[in-house]
Amino acid sequence: MKEVLLVFIISICTQLSFGQSSDLVLWKGNIITLQSNGHRAEAIAIKGDKIIATGTNEEIKKYISTNTKIIDLEGKTVIPGFNDVHQHPFPIYEWNKPYAELRLDTVSSMKSLISLIKRKALITPKGILIKGVGYNELKLGGQPIRDSLDLATTEHPVLIVHASGHLVAVNSIMLKLNSISKKTQDPPGGSFERYHDGIPDGIVKESARKEFKSTNIIQAQTPSHKEELEGYRKYFSQMLSGGLTSIGDCGVSPEKLKVYHELVAENFPFRFNLYIGVDYLDQVISDKIKKEASPYLRVAGIKMFHGNSLSGKTCWLSEPYDLINPITNKKDYYGIPPARSQESLDSLVLRIHSAGLQIACHSNGDREIEMLINAVEKAQIAFPNMNMRHRIEHCSVTNQSILDRIKIAQLIPVFHCYINELGAQLAVYGSKRLSMMMPTKSALDMQIPFALHSDFPISRYEAMIRLGSAVNRKTIDGTVLGENQRLEVEDAIKAYTINGAYTSNEENVKGTIKTGQYADLVILDKDPVKIEKDKIITIEILTTIVGGKIAYQRK
């Protein structure tokens, strides 16, 4: 009774003295605001989709009225909603649907892989393609070459994608349908792995994947538009449960853009930053695909590739990999050079930059990154605009010279941080390179703005897994890679929140908990700053709030 009377009195005082009441108040909590290092609040007042005040419980009382919804945090921790600036969203379907891809990231043996594909073959009409995503050859005990995949089925073409996303494994029927044989030459920027007699063994890297023409393969019946849209709802509902409130989709087509418009039109509670695939650059420049900037959907720029894969061991290096080249029996493997020459890259970057479009360019190896920096420097000389915030996606293998040039050119590294899942793949780079791989602490010390990302489905999307990886840099077996690049917890949170907002020119509206910012928040069951660092990944997301409305709540 006293509590009701107190709320009533506060309501009257608020309306008479301040003229402003909130729709939602979170109080009695531990709120990591990110307004400055170590800054904390006890309560937040929200009106509509914005934060109108933060402070102590006593300070926020004046924003409570009879219509205010109150969440008693009971000491729980609140942080800004996570912004995963580089993903590849896809619709989620039931696995027994003929068009559903198999998820392979948890498959831990070759026997299990073959068994899973066999099960899929039993429910898939003969001759129709079976696809899978996310296999890891270290878990399987080796690459799933054509001989292994043929054990699963010889009546269906099979194509499964590596955890890196940059190489695939196919069975014999898939090779035959596309006329891939001993006589097939490796294309620029790609290669076919081969048996000793030169016959392709089914492992296909980088640009060589384009040799598989869809016209030669019977595809499964496509899902209806209704099913596709529901599949995307399931995907983004998973993101909300993982603590994400914003993502960047890197490589959007005009057809996929329509899906995003539909999700926004139905008020799906999520914020989308879209980077259009470079293949559609002409449509963006001609305004057939329009640049957009609304609270829930932004067409932010152009996604392009210059280079290859880190975990797939195909990125181009200035010094050889720490492994024996099976062809020469020497340590003389430098990765696969990009398909583009420096001149071609310069021309493309200049065209995008001069059109006033932000670039998000995939580059992993140091030679690839240096070529990209060269191209951006030339474009800036031709058309000076130092606030374009061009991005280097992944930016994995670096050195001090590269970081110095990145700072001068005002490029934004968008670093991978998947050591806990794919760190075992990185031993081939050697300790010297590992100390400057995904150099988050070095960039922080140099005051280079940077963001972190999951690249999902390459690594897991859950915010706490990604946060733990950035802080600990430990592989599954506990090996630390690049200890000197570990981040403190609050700095890692910033890299996934306010720094992510900076990459899309949104730091003034999201990424921190302060007046005027979107009320995009996550309630955690433990404080990531106080918990043992190795246990950060065990923290649970209790509630995700987007635009002042509860979008996910743990049951």
Residue 7, pLDDT > 80, answer: no
pLDDT digits (tens, 9 = 90+) for 53-99: 999 999 999 999 999 999 999 999 999 999 999 999 999 999 888 88
Residue 374, pLDDT > 60, answer: yes
pLDDT digits (tens, 9 = 90+) for 266-318: 999 999 999 999 999 999 999 999 999 999 999 989 999 999 999 989 999 99
Separation of alpha carbons 14 and 21, rounded Å: 7
Residue 12, pLDDT > 70, answer: no
- Report the chain's terminal Cα–Cα distance, integer Å: 29
Separation of alpha carbons 359 and 509, rounded Å: 22
Separation of alpha carbons 516 and 171, rounded Å: 55
The answer to whether 21 and 62 have CB atoms below 8 angstroms apart is no
For residue 424, which of 378, 388, 473 has the smallest C-alpha distance? 473
Residue 10: pLDDT band with limits 50, 70, 90: very low
pLDDT digits (tens, 9 = 90+) for 93-148: 998 888 889 999 889 999 999 999 999 999 998 999 999 999 999 899 999 999 99
* 3-class SS of residue 238: helix
Q: Bridge-partner residues for 250, per DSSP?
A: 275
The answer to whether 31 and 78 have CB atoms below 8 angstroms apart is yes
Separation of alpha carbons 478 and 443, rounded Å: 25
Please give the helix or strand (H or E) that residue 421 lies within, else none. helix 419-422
Residue 17, pLDDT > 60, answer: no
Residue 524: pLDDT band with limits 50, 70, 90: very high
**Buried-state track 64-74, b at ≥16 Cβ within 10 A, e below 16:** bbeebeebebe
Mean pLDDT of 520-546: 97
202 backbone dihedrals φ, ψ, rounded to 5°? 105, -10
Query: By percentage, how much of the chain surpasses pLDDT 70?
Result: 96
| Per-residue pLDDT, 216 | 72
| Per-residue pLDDT, 327 | 79
Separation of alpha carbons 496 and 450, rounded Å: 9
pLDDT digits (tens, 9 = 90+) for 486-522: 999 999 999 999 999 999 999 999 999 999 999 999 9
Q: Which letter does DSSP use for residue 146 in this model?
A: H
For 328-454, strand residue ranges (E) read 358-363, 391-394, 412-416, 451-453
The answer to whether 66 and 8 have CB atoms below 8 angstroms apart is yes
| Per-residue pLDDT, 110 | 96
Residue 434: pLDDT band with limits 50, 70, 90: very high
**Which tokens hold the place of 82?**
């996570």
Separation of alpha carbons 412 and 507, rounded Å: 14
Give whole-number Cα distances, 24 to 7, 267, 542, in Å: 14, 19, 17
For residue 77, which of 549, 462, 472, 513 has the smallest C-alpha distance? 513
The answer to whether 479 and 420 have CB atoms below 8 angstroms apart is no
Q: Bridge-partner residues for 125, per DSSP?
A: none
- Give the strand pairing for 451-453 and 412-416: parallel
Domains of the chain: 2-75 (2.30.40.10), 102-216 (3.10.310.70), 226-553 (3.20.20.140)
Can you say whether the dihedral through the CA atoms of 507, 508, 509, 512 is positive or negative? positive
For residue 455, which of 516, 506, 500, 393 has the smallest C-alpha distance? 393
| Per-residue pLDDT, 8 | 45
The answer to whether 272 and 252 have CB atoms below 8 angstroms apart is no
Residue 4, pLDDT > 90, answer: no
Sheet of 130-135: strand order equals 102-103, 130-135, 158-162, 167-170, 200-206, 190-194
* Ramachandran assignment for 63, one of left (phi > 0), alpha (psi -120 to 50 degrees), beta (any other): alpha
Residue with tokens 């106080």: 530
| Per-residue pLDDT, 351 | 98
For residue 271, which of 504, 114, 431 has the smallest C-alpha distance? 504
Amino acid at 305: F
Q: What pTM does this model have?
A: 0.90
Separation of alpha carbons 377 and 372, rounded Å: 9
Question: Which of the given ranges, 122-126, 359-363, 417-421, has the highest pLDDT on average?
Answer: 359-363
**Which tokens hold the place of 447?**
């005051």
The whole-chain average pLDDT of the chain stands at 93
Q: Bridge-partner residues for 162, per DSSP?
A: 135
- Give the strand pairing for 549-553 and 541-546: antiparallel
